[in-house]
């Protein structure tokens, strides 16, 4: 049995770890709140954008626009959004697993990494990391999303990649975050969405200035950057949510361990006292006899 001093030392060390995890949980709770309101505010923009794009595509589906058909190259650009810091449970590894387990072949993928963790994990698995925008995830701005879009689009237009994908963690609510992998380009003629809604947008007669195909040329980059921006913001919210959960369970695990150690410590102390008493009594008896 471990000595009393050992148990005590162990207990103190766990207690200080618990203090850290508790503090981290508080910090990520605050950050989560902020990220959540931001994510909600950007939803309006995104929804509107989505509807407009859907409307245009529904009417111009037959147009052979480069953004609507697959490029010749079989290489694929994947924008992978993870975090810069760990200690967020399975947050980062889930994304990496999603990318690795998808239909995308390792040799054909160019990774555009946002977030150091995902970048390093993918690099270790042998993926080709083409660009790194890790500093962005600390405080994502719309401008950052535009820059990433520009970069990805230019290699798409140059024919270096035939498809563009986006991997991020969707934020559904505080406790559920969904690793998501979606195709950005070419834009599917039929975007996933409610069919009822689709009808509504199609029936409105709409004129375009400049005409449809030119408008597509100008609007699709905006659409892509709005998707990337939305993903960045949701990813930040998810990251903090995941970290909050991870730290919460770490704190309660520490609590449990402290409880067990407390019990062990008390037992050891009791044993120690009993032993001392027996020794004293034994000694006294030996003297008196």
Contacts to other proteins by CB under 8 A: 38, 41-42, 44-46, 48-49, 52, 56, 142, 145-146, 204-210, 215, 218-219, 222, 225-226, 229-230
C-alpha–C-alpha distance, residues 145 and 279, integer Å: 76
The distance of closest approach from Cβ of residue 61 to other proteins in the complex, given in angstroms and rounded to an integer, is 16
The distance of closest approach from Cβ of residue 31 to other proteins in the complex, given in angstroms and rounded to an integer, is 17
Q: Which is nearer to other proteins, 205 or 287 (CB)?
A: 205
Check: CB of residue 60 under 8 Å from CB of residue 212: yes
Q: Which of 19, 88, 3, 23 shows the shortest CA–CA distance to 254? A: 19
C-alpha–C-alpha distance, residues 224 and 145, integer Å: 9
The distance of closest approach from Cβ of residue 144 to other proteins in the complex, given in angstroms and rounded to an integer, is 11
C-alpha–C-alpha distance, residues 21 and 174, integer Å: 18
Phi/psi for 140 (5° steps) reads: -65, 130
Q: Which is nearer to other proteins, 49 or 181 (CB)?
A: 49
Is 66 in a helix, a strand, or coil? coil
The distance of closest approach from Cβ of residue 210 to other proteins in the complex, given in angstroms and rounded to an integer, is 6
Q: Which is nearer to other proteins, 170 or 221 (CB)?
A: 221
Q: Which residue has the tokens 């083409």?
A: 130
User: In sequence order, what are the residues at sequence separation of 6 or more whose Cβ sits closer than 8 angstroms to the Cβ of residue 115?
Assistant: 80, 81, 82, 83, 84, 92, 134, 137, 235
Q: Which is nearer to other proteins, 109 or 145 (CB)?
A: 145
The distance of closest approach from Cβ of residue 153 to other proteins in the complex, given in angstroms and rounded to an integer, is 15
DSSP 84-142: SS--STTHHHHHHHHHHHSS--GGGEEEEEESHHHHHHHHHTT-EEEEE-GGGGGS--H
The distance of closest approach from Cβ of residue 237 to other proteins in the complex, given in angstroms and rounded to an integer, is 14
C-alpha–C-alpha distance, residues 80 and 113, integer Å: 5
C-alpha–C-alpha distance, residues 127 and 220, integer Å: 28
C-alpha–C-alpha distance, residues 112 and 134, integer Å: 10
The distance of closest approach from Cβ of residue 75 to other proteins in the complex, given in angstroms and rounded to an integer, is 26
Q: Which is nearer to other proteins, 23 or 141 (CB)?
A: 141
Q: Which is nearer to other proteins, 87 or 219 (CB)?
A: 219
Q: Which is nearer to other proteins, 64 or 209 (CB)?
A: 209
The distance of closest approach from Cβ of residue 142 to other proteins in the complex, given in angstroms and rounded to an integer, is 5
Q: Which is nearer to other proteins, 29 or 142 (CB)?
A: 142
């Amino acid at each position: 049995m471990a000595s009393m001093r050992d148990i005590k030392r162990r207990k103190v060390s766990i207690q200080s770890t618990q203090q850290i995890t508790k503090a981290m949980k508080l910090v990520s709770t605050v950050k989560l709140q902020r990220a959540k309101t931001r994510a909600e505010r950007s939803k309006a923009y995104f929804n509107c954008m989505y509807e407009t794009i859907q409307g245009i595509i529904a009417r111009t589906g037959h147009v052979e626009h480069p953004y609507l058909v697959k490029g010749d190259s079989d290489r694929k650009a994947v924008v992978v959004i993870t975090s810069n810091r760990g200690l967020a449970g399975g947050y980062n590894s889930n994304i990496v697993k999603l990318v690795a387990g998808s239909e995308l072949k390792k040799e054909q993928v160019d990774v555009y990494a946002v977030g150091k963790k995902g970048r390093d994990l993918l690099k270790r698995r042998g993926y080709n990391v083409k660009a790194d925008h890790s500093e962005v995830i600390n405080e994502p701005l719309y401008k950052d999303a535009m820059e990433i879009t520009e970069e990805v689009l230019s290699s798409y237009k140059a024919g270096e990649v035939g498809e563009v994908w986006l991997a991020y963690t969707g934020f559904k609510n505080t406790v559920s975050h969904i690793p998501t992998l979606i195709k950005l380009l070419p834009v599917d003629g039929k975007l996933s969405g409610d069919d009822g809604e689709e009808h509504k947008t199609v029936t409105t007669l709409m004129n375009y200035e400049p005409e449809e195909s030119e408008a597509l040329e100008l609007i699709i980059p905006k659409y892509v950057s709005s998707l990337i921006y939305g993903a960045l913001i949701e990813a930040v919210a998810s990251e903090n949510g995941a970290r909050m959960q991870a730290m919460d369970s770490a704190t309660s695990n520490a609590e449990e361990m402290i409880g067990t150690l407390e019990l062990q410590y008390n037992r050891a102390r009791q044993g120690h006292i009993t032993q001392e008493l027996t020794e004293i009594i034994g000694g006294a008896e030996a003297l008196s006899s």
